[in-house]
Structures are given as C-alpha cells and as structure tokens.
Chains A and B, each alone.
Chain A
Amino acid sequence: MNEKTMLDDQHFENIIKEESVCTKENIVYEAPHDVLYDTPMHYCPGCGHGVTHRILAEVISELGIVHDVIGVAPVGCSVLAYNYLNIDMTEAAHGRASAAATGIKRVFPEKYVFSYQGDGDLAAIGTGETIHTCNRGENILIIFINNGIYGMTGGQMAPTTLPGMKSTTSPEGRDVATMGNPLKITDLVAQLPGTYYVTRQSVHKPVNVRKAKKAIEKAFQYQKENKGTCFIEIVSNCPSNWKMTPVESNKWLEENMIPYYPLGDLKTPKA
C-alpha cells in the first residue's frame, strides 16, 4: 500500500455524514434555484460560460427581476443558455442578438433586456449590429464572452484570436499580415456616445468572478435608470479548442489573453 492510498483511507474514516451537515441552518451559499435549472451541463469542463451563467443568474435572483428580464441567446456555444437560465429568452440568428434585443426593449422598455454573445457572434458577423446598438445607446446589457476562438464550430479563428495563436483555420498561428488583427471591439464601443458603462472582466479566478458579478449588477442598475448601453466583456477560455486542460487554459489566459485584453473599466459613469 503506498502512502497516497493510506492517506485516502484515513480520509474516508473521518468523513462526516452529508445529511448531518447539509441542514438549513448551515447553508451559507447555494445556487440561485429560482433562476438556474438543475440540469446536466453541456459546456466543456473548465469553460467560462458555466461560471458566467451562474453569476448572471445570481444577479437576476438577488435583484429580484426574474419576472422582468428577457434574455437573448446567440448562435455559438451559449445558444442553449436557456437550458440553464429559467427566464424568458429568445434565441437570435448569428450576430443579430443585439438587434433582437433592441426590438424587445423598444416595445417593452420597462423590462430588463440583455444579450449574451460570443466573439464570433458579436465581433465578426454581428459587428454592424453591435456598433449601431451601442451607438443608439439602446438601454440593454450586452455580455460579450471573448475566448479568442469559435467554440461551437470546433476551434476556427475568431476576430479576437491573438497574433500567432493557432486555430483550425490558422494552423500555423494567426498571421496578422494576411489574416488581420485581433479586434478590440470593447475599446471601440467605449468610444461611442451611446454606451454608458463599458468594462472588461474575467471569471478565471474567484476574485475576478466577484468583480464580474459586481459589473453585471451595476449594469442592470444602470438599465433601470435608462442610462444607455452597458457592455461587459468577459475574457474567457476554451480548454477544448485551445487543446489545454482547464488549469492550463486559465494560466494561458492570464499570460496571453489578459495582456492583450487588459481587465478593468473602459468607460465608467461620470460621478
């Protein structure tokens, strides 16, 4: 018997029965069951979508707006966001989430409307809609998941793929001379008068998760006050298509993605 197994045996002997701990009085933290379905996860292990869905659900639950929020799911990995979020949702055509969200918000201005979009959706095929929605200052929240790759279709180059980064359509690495440069669309929309709050966050560490959650909370508050478009980029990972373990992918994100897409507020409301 090696040392490790002996340790495990000891561990099991000391284990306390679950039901004696999981009592109502002892609960300090739990999933927002009023907004999140209890359902098997289709996202890959370690993917940032799961955490982002969770904090979004937590904010909706904590603000008590579950009956007043309408979400728009994109084409991409998060097309099935409505399988997790127990709220009214519309699934939009590829790139058109912010247009669909505009339509909803214009006829129901008193509701909270958000779109949840990936980099291909928001910054390639939907660039026009993204810019014009932000420029009109539509009173919606746009959550932009940037993992630098097309996840759902299997790892093709995205508008945000880093220079030199490999993908199935840039197998030698992204050559900016022929494939163009990564698009910092968040910097771009921050320049538009219609945006009110533009920030770049991540969910790869607990501290970042807390900050990202705070940003979502603020954005819904601003929407309530009719302030204009709120835009939150979440710099995220894609372990499967980056061909890394979840831990490796978070390390790579920190060492490569964040230097190119620095975290922090790009536009904050004037005090």
Chain B
Amino acid sequence: MKQIKLMKGNEALAEAAIRCGCDAYFGYPITPQSEVLEYLSANAHKRTGMVVLQAESEVASINMVYGAAGTGKRIMTSSSSPGISLMQEGISYIACAELPCLIVNVNRGGPGLGTIQPAQGDYFQSVKGGGHGDYKLIVLAPSSVQETVDFVDLSFDLAFKYRNPVLILSDGALGQMMEKVELPVQKERTFTELDWATTGRKKGNGRVITSLNLQPEKMEEINMHLQKKYREIEKNEIRFETVNCDDADYIITAYGLVARICMKAAQMARAKGFKVGVFRPISLYPFPYQKIADLSKNIKGILDVEMNAGQMVEDVRLAVEGRAPVKFHGRMGGMVPSPEEIFHKLEEYFLGGAK
C-alpha cells in the first residue's frame, strides 16, 4: 500500500531502496549522507533480506558494487562529494563493463574537504565524466524529497534498460530536510538471470565482466558501442520541468533544490509584472539542449543560478548559442541563495532596464 510520511531526504531515499527491491547496498559513512547507511543498516536486511555492508572506504564500496552488479542484481551505493571523488576509477570501470547500478551523491561544498553544507560543485564530475575515459552516467537531479524517492526505482529501470550506471545528484539540503513524501509500495526482491551476468558458468563458455582490451581496434569498437548507446539515451531519456516558460520574457535555469528557490524568485518577479519562467533540467545527462535552444528563440535573457562557480551554465550557453544573453549567479562553499537575492540579480541583469 502507498504510504504518506514526513521523512528526511536521506532516510526516504533508503526507504525507497528497500521498497523497490534493491538487493545490496555497499557504503561508507560521510556527512551529509550517513543516514542512508544508518537507515538501511537498521531496516533493510530484516525486512527484505537486502545485503547492507559498511565498507572500509568508498574505494572498496564502489568495487563491491562493481563485483555485485556483475551478477545482475539490483545494487547501489551512496556517498557525498569527497567520497564520490574516491569512487571515480570504479565508476569508470562500471561504465565500461556496462553494469547497471545506482550511485547517489549527496553533494556538499568543496573543493577539498570543503564543508558539509549543500552545494552543486559536482555537476562537471557527474555529467562530464568524472573518471578516466569517454563514458557517461545517466544523471538525475531531484528537487524534492518526493523526487528523490521516485528516482530510485526509475534509476534502476534505466540502469537495467541501458546496462549503465545511474547517478542521483542530490545535495546536502535535500538529504537533510524533511518533507511530506508518498512512498511506493513494497516490491518483492526477485532475481532474473541475465544473459551477460556472471553467476557461475551456464551453457557455453564462461562469461567475463571486464573493461580491458589490449587491442586498440577492439577497444575502439567497445567505445563506439558505448557512444551508440549514449546517443540512444540522449534520444529517449531527456527529462525537465518548465514553470511559466510559455509567455516568459526571461527564464531562470537551475537544477535540484535551487530550482525551487528560483521558482519563488520568479513568483516575486511575476508579482511585479515581469514575465519570468523557470526551466529545470531533471536529467543532467542527457541534458535538454534542444528544449533550451527552442526556448531561447523567444526570450530576452536567461539567468542561470547554481550553488557552484558556474558549471551547468556552460551547457546552457551551448544550447542557447548566443541567441539570448545568459547571465550567471552562483553561491559556493555551502551557501544557499535566497529568493530575494536571485530576484535582485534578475533586476540587476535584466529587469532594471525593462522598466
């Protein structure tokens, strides 16, 4: 039965993992996401038999994910920025070996040890590679606790559909704040033998999970195959939300929790008679380039707002191709912009002259 509860983002995420029949979680404590590991440790095994293991490091946990994901089961890990950095080598292996799994990054302020407050400084790392080589993760950015929950099951579906790791890019605020959330019904943990998984040799020769090919011709073929898959993902899996963009003169682009703050700023602008809309990419990879390109044809300007020094704004500019001015406002190191601050930036860059 569906259930409505007031829950903390990290705990809701863990609950969603249990409910969607996740088979195993491997993780390591790090603020602000430790509640995921804690909640799962207390609840998961006794409810569904799900494996929960606290690893000795994020390096170990992502490689446990790699091993376990090779069997075709539903496997996940979560961490926060420095821990996700440690995982990058493993993520590159997982992407090349085409293993489905879910990785959650509850983004905190960086660089370095940084802070434990929310940030979006890991956008580049998430969507442009992060580890070595040409690979892509499917990246989903929730803006509420509800979406965090909904994206868990969606992530597993996408991961298995494309045999590709999926990253949920949350942040320290989404992980820590409490919101009303509708939880999905408990799915049974079932297992289907997959024709690529290594669970003990079946008919024919032994299967191999690997990302190695010493012959450059073969390795290029593997790359071409991956690229073909990424084009398919770009065709099918673009997700975004538009709020009052149809008649807008100005658009704010933002993802995650910041987009909700921007919606408040847009309301303030509307109350003063300015037609401002908000465009929120939900899938950061694949990025909604075409939709932004289409929107940019009929507007006077875009303000991109992020909790970083300007990362997604590069993709926005690529999409706009100079058709409209793109301005940027960012806060860093764990600082969250206020609606008033964003509204003032709108005034400064665009609305002041519009009066």
Instruction: Point out the residue from B55, B57, B66, B69 that lies within 8 Å of A92, measured CB to CB.
Output: B66
Chain A residues contacting B60 (CB-CB under 8 Å) are 96, 99, 102, 128-129, 132
> Per-residue 0/1 for A117-134: is the Cβ within 8 Å of any B Cβ (1 yes, 0 no)?
000000000001100100
A103 engages B75 (CB within 8 Å): yes
A88 engages B56 (CB within 8 Å): no
Q: A59 near B: Cβ within 8 Å?
A: no
A102 engages B207 (CB within 8 Å): no
A103 engages B209 (CB within 8 Å): no
Stretch at the interface among B168-176, B195-203, B231-239: B195-203
Q: B10 near A: Cβ within 8 Å?
A: no
Main secondary structure of the interface of A (DSSP, over half): mixed
From known contacts A82-B210, A90-B208, A91-B209, infer whether A103 and B63 are also in contact, taking CB-CB under 8 Å.
Answer: yes
Chain B residue, CB-CB nearest to A42: B214
Stretch at the interface among A63-71, A225-233, A239-247, A259-267: A63-71
B→A interface (CB under 8 Å): 23-24, 26, 51, 53, 55-57, 59-61, 63-71, 73, 75, 89-90, 93, 97, 198-202, 205-212
B64 engages A99 (CB within 8 Å): yes
Chain A residues contacting B66 (CB-CB under 8 Å) are 90, 92-93, 96, 99-100, 103
For the complex, what is the distance from the CA of A88 to the CA of B202, rounded to whole Å? 9
B90 engages A93 (CB within 8 Å): yes
Residues in A82-105 with C-beta less than 8 Å from chain B:
82, 85-93, 96, 99-104
Stretch at the interface among A106-114, A179-187, A190-198: A106-114
For the complex, what is the distance from the CA of A103 to the CA of B60, rounded to whole Å? 10
- Smallest CB separation, B47 vs chain A (Å): 17
Chain B residue, CB-CB nearest to A111: B200
A102 engages B64 (CB within 8 Å): yes
From known contacts A67-B202, A103-B64, infer whether A96 and B59 are also in contact, taking CB-CB under 8 Å.
Answer: yes
Instruction: Point out the residue from A70, A82, A106 that lies within 8 Å of B199, measured CB to CB.
Output: A70
Instruction: Point out the residue from B24, B59, B198, B210 that lies within 8 Å of A106, measured CB to CB.
Output: B24
From known contacts A100-B67, A106-B51, infer whether A88 and B24 are also in contact, taking CB-CB under 8 Å.
Answer: no
Q: Please name 28 pairs of A and B residues whose Cβ atoms are closer than 8 Å in the assembled complex, sorted by A.
A: A66-B201, A82-B206, A86-B206, A87-B200, A88-B198, A88-B200, A90-B67, A90-B208, A92-B63, A93-B93, A99-B61, A99-B66, A100-B66, A100-B70, A102-B67, A103-B26, A103-B75, A104-B71, A106-B53, A106-B64, A107-B23, A107-B71, A107-B75, A108-B200, A128-B60, A129-B56, A129-B60, A132-B60
